[in-house]
Amino acid sequence: MTQITSVNKLPARQEMYQALLNKDASYEGIFVAAIKTTGIFCRSICTARKPKQENVEYFSTCSEALSFGFRPCKICKPLVPLGETPDWITQLLAEVAQSDNIRFKDYQLRERGVEPARLRRWFKKHHGMTFQAYLRAQRLNQAIGRIKHEESVTQIAFDSGYESLSGFGDAFKKLTGVSPILSKSQTLVTITRVLTPLGPMVAGATDKGVCLLEFFDRRMLETQLKRLTKLLNANFVPGEHLLFSVLNQQLSDYFSGKLKVFNIPLDLPGTEFQKNVWQVLSQIPYGTTRSYQKQAECINNPKAVRAVAKANGDNRISIIIPCHRVIGKNGALTGYGGGLWRKQRLLELEQRT
């Protein structure tokens, strides 16, 4: 039988087959596996029974697999973005967003056709907290905003549904790490999950702008969060922010090839050297690349190649500040926190566009 060839370069077949056996999520976005005996194609994390190696073909995109006559798997649903919020949760979150102090009892969830245990499992898996904890975070998030505007802490506590000031204070401190009064001197970073064709990302925003945009599986993510906490004297609270809808739209336009320059406000705490490097990074034209040596020359410090590379790695706002456009002097892809495969995909997208 003739071997099917993918349009884009893929890892070695043995490597991809091993990833399929291991249900390796790190290969999400790199390939889909098409099973010749069943006529379906799956993502790398599929839990279906694994086929023999000789019965598997590999494609870099779902559209390629479809063009060869394969059907999407009903178990892993490769056409649905990984981590996408299902409709039954989207409707619930829309209701939450429209209320200042919404609460849901289990019977109220069931009235809406939502099983509480299923909802709890989904939130634990995708947000690391239960749905009720998410609602509490939302209420406290709103309370923080009101405290910043000098409203009465006592009134806010009762408006937020707490029966006592001490109960509100305890919940507030557990979430933010400080008392309601001290929170006036702290920066609130609202965080959310953003879906992209290259996998889910975590985004953070302050009153000044977007301060974080990293892929969920980046090894340095926890370190970056700790650095932001220190630099901004900040605490992180999941919730909605006015900038998130703008961010989602601009990322969508970017991945579809419609947007070449982002214009969303950014909040970039760091040293003067880092800020200088990030500013020069932002000036690399769409669809082009530049070496670390050239970057050092652009900041009038040609001997600071290593320091420039480190500042690139400290960039907390992927894609928008395009550190993926910096490559080795010999043209090789090097050093990208989101993974070299994502760096290659981003460059391919820009050069193709």
**Residue 202 in 3-state DSSP?**
strand
**Exposed, middle or buried by CB within 10 Å (0-12, 13-18, 19+), for 156?**
buried
For tokens 């995909």, the residue is 345
**Residue 56 in 3-state DSSP?**
strand
Active-site entry in 73, 211, 298, 323: 323
Q: Across the chain, which distance is largest between two alpha carbons, in Å?
A: 75
Distance (Å, whole) CA 98 – CA 102: 9
Distance (Å, whole) CA 272 – CA 269: 9
Residue 323 is a catalytic residue = yes
Q: What is the DSSP string of 272-286?
A: HHHHHHHHHHHTSPT
- Secondary structure letter of residue 212 according to DSSP: E
Tokens representing residue 76 in the block: 């892993």
- Answer whether 72's CB lies under 8 Å from 79's CB: yes
* Alpha helix segments (H runs only) across 42-187: 62-67, 87-97, 106-111, 116-127, 131-148, 153-159, 165-176
- Catalytic residue annotation: 323
